[in-house]
Amino acid sequence: MFLVPFYENENFRLAFKSYNSDEFATFDQKIRSDITFPVNNLQQKYGCSEKGALKICLYLIDNKKPE
């Protein structure tokens, strides 16, 4: 699952929470790219809203579902 590398890094969770805010721009390009990919993927493949995609990603990170 694409979120597995994010479990151990609190910066990823913080980046998901700050997506589309001024704070999001403070993260390095790699993290921003890694956050944008699953959000866009959920929107394009499953028709999720941006807010819905972010909630799904945060839920999975918080609950470590893909293990």
Whole-number Å distance between alpha carbons of 64 and 67: 6
Nearest alpha carbon to residue 51 among 30, 20, 23: 20
The single-letter DSSP state of residue 27 is S
Token pair in block for residue 2: 């694409």
Q: Compute, in degrees rounded to 10, the torsion defined by CA atoms 45, 66, 57, 16.
A: -130
> pLDDT value at position 12?
83
From first to last of its 67 residues, the chain has per-residue pLDDT tens of: 555 666 667 888 899 899 999 999 999 998 899 899 999 999 999 999 999 999 998 888 888 755 5
Residue 43 · residue 50 · CB < 8 Å:
yes
